C-alpha cells in the first residue's frame, strides 16, 4: 500500500563537512527528483544549507536510501521516515521551525514553498504531496500565529548582525563584501535598516543580479573572478552562495600564489568572515590566522543556543498544534483511499436527480430560468443532506480498512459502485519500536521481511519512547517495558527488540520469538588516536556501558581505566571525539546495520570478548496467543539462532537473570550439537571464570544451567580462598 515516506540529512545528525558534500543546487535537484520519479508516484526535495530532505509517495523509502548511497556511505547521518505518520510529523515540525538550527525561524516556510514550486514545475508533485506540502505550510504559519516561537528573532540575518556587533565593529566605518544575492538579501536589509555603512560590494555568479542588487542597496557590483581588490578593502566578508567560488579555498593557504588568498595572510586589519554557504565558501584554515575571525554554519549553531532559550518555552504549544495538524492530515490521507467510492456514489445520485428533474420540469408548466436555478439548488442541498450520513460512514470505515470482513466491499455493493477498484489490505499490523536510528533500522528491516512474506498486509510503524531513551537505564526493561505496556493496552501488535535488552522475567500475556539468523556478535574497539587495543597507552580512558566488556578486557589490559558511558551509537562516538574518552567499545552488529563499521579501529574475536547474552539477535514480541500475527512472525524464526538464544538465556537465568554482575555467554549450533561458552565474575573482575560445554542441542537449557552452576561454584571457591588468605 502506498504511503508517505522520506529520508533526511540535516544539521541534527550531520556536521557541515558532510552536509556540504550532499548539497544540491537547483539543477542537481531537478535531476534527482526526475531520477527518483522512476521509483515513486510523487516526490519532492527540500535542499537548504541545513538539510537535504526527500519525501515521496510510494511503497517504501528504500529507493531514497539507495539514492543517498550514490554519494557514498552516509547512512549513519540519515534520519529514516519509513511510515506516513512519522514522515508527515517530520515535515510539519520542519515547517513549524521545530527542526531548524534557529528554532522558529521563518525562512524554512519559503524554502518548502520553493520545493513545491520546483516539484510542480518538474511534474513530480501529485495530489497527495501537493496537499501534504500546502498543509505543512499552513501548519508553519499557524504555529507562528498562535505561539511566540517566532517572535524572539534568531534568523541567520539577525545572527549575522549580532556577530558583527559582538566583534565591536563600527558599521559606519566598515566596508562589506557580500557574496551571493539570494538569502544574503535578508542580512543586508537587516544591517542597512539598523545603521549606515561606509561601502558595500556585491558579488554574484549572475552579473545582472549583482548589478541589480548593488543598485538597490547603493553599493558596487564586482565580478566573482576579480574580487581581490574588494577583499582587501572589506572589513566584513559574508559568503552565502551555493555555487563553487573557490574563494580562499586552496588546499594549502601558505603555498598559494593566488592574490585572493595571500591577502588574508598579509592584511593588517582585523577581518570578519561569516560563511553561510553550503558548500562552505571560505577555507576553514582561515581560523588559524590571528587577524581573521571566521564563522561557518556549525559555529553559528553553537552561538545561537543561548539566544534561542526563550523560544524553547513555546515548543510544547507548537508541538501540540503540529500533532493536531498531523492527525488531520492522516485522517485526510485515509479518507482519500475511499474517495473513488464516494465520487462514484455522488455521481450516481446526481444522475438520478437529473433524470427526475427531466420528468418534473414539463409538469411544472411555464417556469423561468431563476425558478429552474432555485429548483436545482434545492435538489442539490437535498442530496447533500440525504447522502452525508452515508458518506461519513464510508469515511469512518476508511480509518480502519482492515476489518475482518472488509466492510468497504460491503459499502461498494450497497452503493452500487462495485466497478470501483481500491486496495483493501487483508490485515493491518502495527509495529512498535524505539525511535533511535538503530532501533528504526532494525525495525524497518524486519518489516521488509514480513512484507515479503505477506504483501497483502499493511504494516504501520509506531514510535514508543522508553525510559532508556530518556537516559534512565537503571530500571529493569529500560528499553522494553514501555513497548510491552503499549502492546498489552492494544495500541501495537508487535514490538521489535534487540534480544539482549529483553529482561529474563517474562511478561504475563506476551511471548518473545528470537527471529532471523544471528548477525555478527563481536564487539569493536574505536579509538580517537586510531591505535589498537594492544597499542593504546596505559592509563587511557575506555568508555563502555557494560561490566561484561570491561571485566573481560581488564584481564588483558588492567593498566587501562574503564569508565561508564551511555547513549546511542552516535552519542557515544561524539562523546569520545569531544570528551574525556580515549576509546569506546560498541557492538559490531549495530555499526553494521547503520553502515558505520568503517569507524571501528579493531574488531575483537569472540574468544577475547565473549558477547552479551542474545547479542546480534533480534526478537519479535507479541501477544501470547495463536493467530495470523503469530503465524506470520514464526516464519522468520531461524532455528539454530533460536536454540542458541534458548541456551544463552538459560545460562543468564541460572546466574540470577538481571543481577548486576558481569555475565556473558555465546552458543553455536552445528546440526544436533551445541557449544556454549560462558563468563562469570564478581563486579570488579578480580574473580573471573570462563569455560565452555558441549552436548546435544536438545539438552541446550540443561547444559547451559550446568555450565552456569560450574562457573558460579568456581567464583564462590575463589572468594573463600581469598577470604582465608586475608584472615591469615
- Could you tell me which of 89, 128, 90, 92 has the C-alpha nearest to residue 9? 90
Pick the catalytic residue from 83, 285, 493, 501: 501
Q: What is the CATH number of domain 523-603?
A: 3.40.190.10
DSSP string, 641-708: HHHHHHHHHHHHHHTTSS-SS-EEEEEEEETTEEEEEEEEE-TTSSSEEEEEEEEEGGGHHHHHHHHH
Give the C-alpha separation, 230 to 685, whole Å.
67
3-class DSSP state of 639: helix
Contact 44, 133 (CB under 8 A): yes
Virtual torsion, Cα 363, 366, 369, 374, nearest 10 deg: -50
635: phi > 0 → left, psi -120 to 50 → alpha, else beta; which?
Answer: alpha
Q: In this structure, what C-alpha cell is assigned to residue 447? A: 518489516
* Separation in Å, CA 683 to CA 189, 541, 586: 64, 19, 20
Question: In the Cβ-directed half-sphere of 536, how many Cα atoms lie within 13 Å?
Answer: 26
Environment class of residue 724 by beta-carbon count within 10 Å: exposed (0-12), middle (13-18) or buried (19+)?
A: exposed
* Separation in Å, CA 325 to CA 84, 141, 330, 396: 13, 12, 9, 18
What does the domain layout of the chain look like in residue ranges? 3-151+314-318, 156-306, 339-414, 523-603, 638-728
* C-alpha dihedral sign at 222, 224, 226, 229: positive
Q: In this structure, what C-alpha cell is assigned to residue 619? A: 526478537
How many other β-carbons are positioned within 10 Å of the β-carbon of residue 707?
A: 26
How many other β-carbons are positioned within 10 Å of the β-carbon of residue 152?
A: 18
> What backbone phi and psi angles, to 5 degrees, belong to 178?
-105, 120
- Any idea what DSSP says for residue 533? T
The domain made up of 638-728 has a fold known as Double Stranded RNA Binding Domain (3.30.160)
Q: In this structure, what C-alpha cell is assigned to residue 681? A: 565474575
What strands, in cross-sheet order, belong to the sheet with 3-10? Answer: 42-47, 51-58, 3-10, 78-81
DSSP string, 385-409: HHHHHHHHHHHHHHTTTT-TT-HHH
List average pLDDT for each run of 10 residues in the chain, which is 728 residues long. 91 85 91 95 91 94 94 90 92 91 80 94 93 94 87 62 78 86 66 78 85 87 81 86 56 45 56 83 82 82 59 82 92 82 84 90 88 90 85 74 63 70 78 86 91 90 74 59 88 90 81 85 94 95 92 94 87 88 93 88 95 92 87 91 94 79 93 95 87 96 95 90 70
The domain made up of 156-306 has a fold known as Rossmann fold (3.40.50)
DSSP string, 276-325: --SS-SS-GGGGGSTTEEEE-HHHHHHHHHHHTHHHHTTHHHHHHHHHHH
DSSP string, 459-475: EEEEE---TTTTT--SS
Q: In this structure, what C-alpha cell is assigned to residue 73? A: 556511505
Give the model's pLDDT for residue 464.
87
Give the C-alpha separation, 190 to 165, whole Å.
12
- Any idea what DSSP says for residue 503? -
* Separation in Å, CA 271 to CA 2, 105, 297, 303: 54, 28, 18, 19
**Strand runs (DSSP E) across 418-483, as ranges?**
427-433, 457-463
- Could you tell me which of 17, 10, 6 has the C-alpha nearest to residue 40? 6
Give the C-alpha separation, 481 to 472, whole Å.
12
How many other β-carbons are positioned within 10 Å of the β-carbon of residue 171?
A: 18
Contact 514, 520 (CB under 8 A): no
418 annotated active-site: no
Q: How much of the chain is in helix, strand and coil states, percent to nearest 5? A: 50, 20, 35
Beta-strand pair 583-587/523-527: antiparallel
Environment class of residue 510 by beta-carbon count within 10 Å: exposed (0-12), middle (13-18) or buried (19+)?
A: middle
* Separation in Å, CA 649 to CA 67, 416, 667, 692: 41, 58, 10, 15
3-class DSSP state of 564: strand
Give the C-alpha separation, 438 to 457, whole Å.
25
The domain made up of 3-151+314-318 has a fold known as Beta Polymerase; domain 2 (3.30.460)
Q: How far apart are the first and last CA of the chain?
A: 75
Helix (H) or strand (E) holding 602: strand 602-603
Give the C-alpha separation, 680 to 671, whole Å.
27
Give the C-alpha separation, 561 to 558, whole Å.
8
What strands, in cross-sheet order, belong to the sheet with 663-670? Answer: 663-670, 673-681, 688-696
Helix (H) or strand (E) holding 440: helix 437-453
Give the model's pLDDT for residue 255.
46
Domains 156-306 and 638-728 share a fold: no
Give the model's pLDDT for residue 531.
94
* Separation in Å, CA 200 to CA 36, 248, 620, 638: 42, 20, 64, 70
Amino acid at each position: 500500500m502506498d504511503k508517505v515516506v522520506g529520508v533526511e540529512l540535516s544539521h541534527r545528525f550531520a556536521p557541515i563537512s558532510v552536509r556540504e558534500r550532499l548539497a544540491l543546487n537547483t539543477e542537481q535537484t531537478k535531476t534527482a527528483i526526475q531520477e527518483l520519479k522512476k521509483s515513486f508516484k510523487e516526490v519532492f526535495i527540500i535542499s537548504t544549507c541545513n538539510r537535504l530532505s526527500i519525501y515521496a509517495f510510494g511503497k517504501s523509502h528504500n529507493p531514497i536510501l539507495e539514492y543517498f548511497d550514490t554519494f557514498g556511505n552516509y547512512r549513519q547521518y540519515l534520519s529514516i521516515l519509513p511510515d506516513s505518520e512519522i514522515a508527515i510529523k517530520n515535515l510539519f515540525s520542519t515547517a513549524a521551525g521545530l527542526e531548524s538550527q534557529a528554532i522558529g525561524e521563518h525562512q524554512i516556510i519559503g524554502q518548502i514553498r520553493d520545493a513545491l514550486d520546483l516539484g510542480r514545475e518538474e511534474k513530480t508533485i501529485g495530489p497527495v504531496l501537493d496537499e501534504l506540502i500546502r498543509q505543512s505550510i499552513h501548519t508553519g504559519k499557524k504555529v507562528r500565529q498562535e505561539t511566540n516561537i517566532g517572535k524572539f528573532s534568531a534568523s541567520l540575518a539577525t545572527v549575522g548582525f549580532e556577530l558583527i556587533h559582538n566583534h565591536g565593529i563600527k558599521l559606519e566605518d566598515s566596508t562589506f563584501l557580500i557574496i551571493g544575492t539570494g538569502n544574503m538579501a535578508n542580512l543586508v536589509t537587516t544591517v542597512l535598516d539598523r545603521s549606515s555603512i561606509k561601502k558595500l560590494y556585491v558579488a554574484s555568479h549572475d552579473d545582472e543580479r549583482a548589478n541589480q542588487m548593488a543598485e538597490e542597496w547603493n553599493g558596487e557590483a564586482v565580478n566573482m573572478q576579480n574580487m581581490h581588490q574588494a577583499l582587501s578593502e572589506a572589513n566584513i566578508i559574508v559568503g552565502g552562495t551555493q555555487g563553487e567560488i573557490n574563494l580562499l579555498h586552496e588546499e594549502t593557504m601558505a603555498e598559494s600564489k593566488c592574490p585572493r588568498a595571500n591577502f588574508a595572510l598579509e592584511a593588517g586589519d582585523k577581518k570578519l568572515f561569516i560563511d553561510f554557504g553550503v558548500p562552505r565558501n571560505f577555507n576553514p584554515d582561515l581560523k588559524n590566522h590571528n587577524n581573521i575571525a571566521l564563522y561557518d554554519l556549525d559555529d553559528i549553531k553553537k552561538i545561537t543556543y543561548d539566544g534561542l532559550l526563550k523560544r524553547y518555552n513555546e515548543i510544547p504549544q507548537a508541538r501540540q498544534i503540529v500533532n493536531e495538524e498531523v492527525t488531520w492530515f492522516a485522517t485526510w490521507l485515509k479518507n482519500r483511499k475511499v474517495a473513488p467510492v464516494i465520487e462514484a456514489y455522488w455521481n450516481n445520485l446526481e444522475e438520478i436527480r437529473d433524470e427526475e428533474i427531466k420528468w418534473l420540469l414539463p409538469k411544472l408548466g411555464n417556469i423561468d430560468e431563476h425558478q429552474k436555478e432555485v429548483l436545482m439548488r434545492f435538489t442539490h442541498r437535498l442530496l447533500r443532506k440525504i447522502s452525508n450520513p452515508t458518506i461519513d460512514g464510508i469515511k469512518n470505515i476508511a480509518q480502519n480498512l482492515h476489518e475482518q470482513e472488509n466492510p468497504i466491499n460491503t459499502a461498494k455493493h450497497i452503493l452500487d459502485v462495485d466497478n470501483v477498484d481500491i486496495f483493501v489490505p487483508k490485515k493491518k499490523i502495527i509495529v512498535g519500536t524505539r525511535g533511535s536510528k538503530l532501533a528504526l533500522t532494525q525495525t524497518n528491516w524486519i518489516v521488509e521481511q514480513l512484507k515479503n512474506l505477506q504483501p497483502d498486509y499493511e504494516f504501520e510503524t509506531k514510535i514508543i519512547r522508553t525510559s532508556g531513551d530518556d537516559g534512565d537505564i537503571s530500571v529493569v526493561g529500560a528499553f522494553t517495558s514501555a513497548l510491552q505496556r503499549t502492546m498489552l493496552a492494544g495500541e501495537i501488535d508487535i514490538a521489535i527488540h534487540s534480544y539482549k535488552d529483553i529482561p529474563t522475567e517474562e511478561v504475563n500475556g506476551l511471548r518473545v520469538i528470537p527471529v532471523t539468523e544471528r548477525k555478527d556478535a563481536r564487539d569493536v574497539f574505536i579509538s580517537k588516536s586510531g591505535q589498537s587495543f594492544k597499542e593504546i597507552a596505559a592509563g587511557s580512558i575506555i568508555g563502555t556501558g557494560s561490566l561484561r566488556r570491561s571485566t573481560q578486557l581488564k584481564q588483558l589490559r588492567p593498566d587501562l581505566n574503564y569508565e561508564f558511558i551511555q547513549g546511542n551509537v552516535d552519542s557515544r562516538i561524539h562523546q569520545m571525539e569531544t570528551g574525556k574518552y580515549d576509546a569506546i567499545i560498541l557492538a559490531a552488529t549495530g555499526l553494521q546495520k547503520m553502515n558505520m563499521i568503517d569507524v571501528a579501529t579493531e574488531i575483537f574475536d569472540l574468544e577475547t570478548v565473549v558477547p552479551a547474552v542474545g547479542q546480534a539477535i533480534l526478537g519479535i514480541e507479541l501477544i501470547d496467543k495463536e493467530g495470523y500475527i503469530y503465524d506470520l512472525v514464526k516464519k522468520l524464526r531461524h532455528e539454530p539462532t533460536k536454540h542458541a538464544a534458548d541456551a544463552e538465556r538459560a545460562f543468564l537465568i541460572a546466574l540470577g537473570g538481571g543481577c548486576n554482575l558481569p555475565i556473558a555467554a555465546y552458543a553455536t549450533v552445528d546440526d544436533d550439537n551445541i557449544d556454549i561458552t560462558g563468563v562469570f565474575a564478581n563486579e570488579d573482575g578480580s574473580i573471573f571464570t570462563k569455560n565452555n560445554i558441549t552436548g546435544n542441542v536438545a539438552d541446550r537449557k540443561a547444559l547451559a544451567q550446568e555450565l552456569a552452576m560450574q562457573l558460579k561454584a568456581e567464583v564462590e571457591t575463589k572468594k573463600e580462598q581469598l577470604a582465608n588468605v586475608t584472615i591469615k
